[in-house]
Amino acid sequence: MSTTAVASDVVDGVDPDILDRSNAALATVGLDPLGLGTSASFEVHDPATEEVIARPADYTPDQALLALDRADRAGADWARKTPRHRSDVLHRAYDLIIEQRDRLAYVITREMGKPLAEAYGEVQYAADYVRWYAEEAVRPAGNYRESPRGGSTILTSRAPVGTALLITPWNFPMAMATRKIAPAIAVGCGAVVKPAALTPLTTLVVAEIFVQAGVPDDLVQVVTTSKASPLSTALLADPRVRKVSFTGSTGVGSTLLTLAAHNVVKSSMELGGNAPLLVFDDADLERAVEGALVAKLRNGGQSCVAANRILVQDGIADAFVEGFTERMSQVVMGNPLGDVQLGPVIDDRAVANFRGWVDDAVARGAELRAGGSAPDGPGHFFEATVLDRVPESAAIAQEEIFGPVASIARFATEDEGVARANSTPFGLASYVFTADVDRALDVADRLDAGMVGINHGIVSNVAAPFGGIKASGLGREGSSEGLEEYQEIRFYNVARRS
């Protein structure tokens, strides 16, 4: 099995020992998971330095179908294992992830660019999904009820849906993988996993750990590719694929749903967002500032649930903007292996988008309060940026920002704030900051969103059903609902003696 080649130059501002350990972690990644010895490969870059850190196999659709064949055959055997056996394997996988958290965190940081402390946080978050579904595996759902008309008993049970195609994004390469793989394993499904071409390395390590824990070699097949569309098209055309789970853009999700319709494939889609964060006059100012900072800058803003539009009521707006700008101005940016709070964004296209949106907003009357530019030198960096009084006509008020640029607008009344928040085709996450419990719950009920954070800048939790409405997708991940996405309901009508 081939391994990665790593550049050895010491990066300014980074402890050489940490750099050496991250290089060592990268060198353990197997880059040909199907074991085909393929000569085709593509480059994976460190977004902080733009160095090539790996060249994984670039598999073709035909090779992906070979992986599907393996996963489908292994899944049939795995489905016959007891829930307790599958649970025990997942518990071992959790323990191994924690044991190997250093290796995983270094790989995440090098291929995705998030600060090392955040990478460790993602490792724990990802591991928690594995533990959660280890526990859910031994709680099979079912029901027993009498027919209302009498004469029979109705029994319901759940069965694995079948082989799953799991397509993961680049921004949380480990957590989004385990959030899909763990429930599939828990219920007895085989899986073909297609990681993002920008960040495939973490998924390769995760799959290896599952095998170490006792998951059959062929059950989870990782197919790396630089050409996602032909591969997904081929897999979804195969009737053995009975489930597709995708996290990514609404445009791609819509295309996948069209492909899935041909074979009526069970689908869950976690798609784009345009999250509003509402700050009302009665909010605790410090809590609102800190909550908005977390909701905006977690993962460098590269999150589908990041606060995309910060909407502040007039009475608190000036104080909020002042406090929020001060906090954003204190954010330290740099190589994510160093002591920083903000690493690079994923690529130069993102940097170009931020530049364009900031310039457009300022030209339309917005006030640039902090940041607004990209530093010279290698790496895809953009400063923590604050724009105040952003008009609705500005492009940044309509687009999913996916980066460290905060767009702030003002509103006068509760009704206006809610209307502004809902003026989008998306409905993934929203945030509300207020000291009034009645207002908090009333506004939450009125928001078009699958998830609402109330006085809290984070909505993600393994025990909660993660997902959106409208153009933000369908289905849920996490919680018991996430397990149901990989199951079919079966019903038996049992005749009774009269």
Instruction: Spell out a b/e string for 447-468, using b for 16 or more CB atoms within 10 Å of the CB, else e.
Output: bbbbbbbbbebebbebeebbbb
Nearest one of 89, 66, 74 to 137, comparing CA atoms: 89
Contact 210, 191 (CB under 8 A): no
Please give the distance of CA 425 from its chain centroid, rounded to a whole number: 20
Contact 418, 443 (CB under 8 A): yes
What is the distance between the alpha carbons of residues 440 and 60, in angstroms, rounded to a whole number? 50
Q: Is 304 a catalytic residue?
A: yes
Task: Supply 65's token pair.
Answer: 């179908």
Contact 96, 90 (CB under 8 A): no
**Mode of pairing for the β-strands spanning 163-167 and 241-247:** parallel
Q: Is 189 a catalytic residue?
A: no
Q: Which of 122, 189, 208, 304 is catalytic?
A: 304
Q: Helices marked H in 113-174 — which ranges?
A: 116-136
Contact 172, 122 (CB under 8 A): yes
Burial, 102: exposed, middle or buried (Cβ in 10 Å; 0-12, 13-18, 19+)?
middle
What is the distance between the alpha carbons of residues 77 and 190, in angstroms, rounded to a whole number? 9
Q: Which of 270, 400, 477, 484 is catalytic?
A: 270
Nearest one of 34, 35, 53, 32 to 43, comparing CA atoms: 53
Residue 108 C-beta-side C-alpha neighbours within 13 Å: 28
**Mode of pairing for the β-strands spanning 191-194 and 163-167:** parallel
N residues, the chain: 498
Nearest one of 222, 191, 218, 219 to 206, comparing CA atoms: 222
Catalytic residues: 270, 304
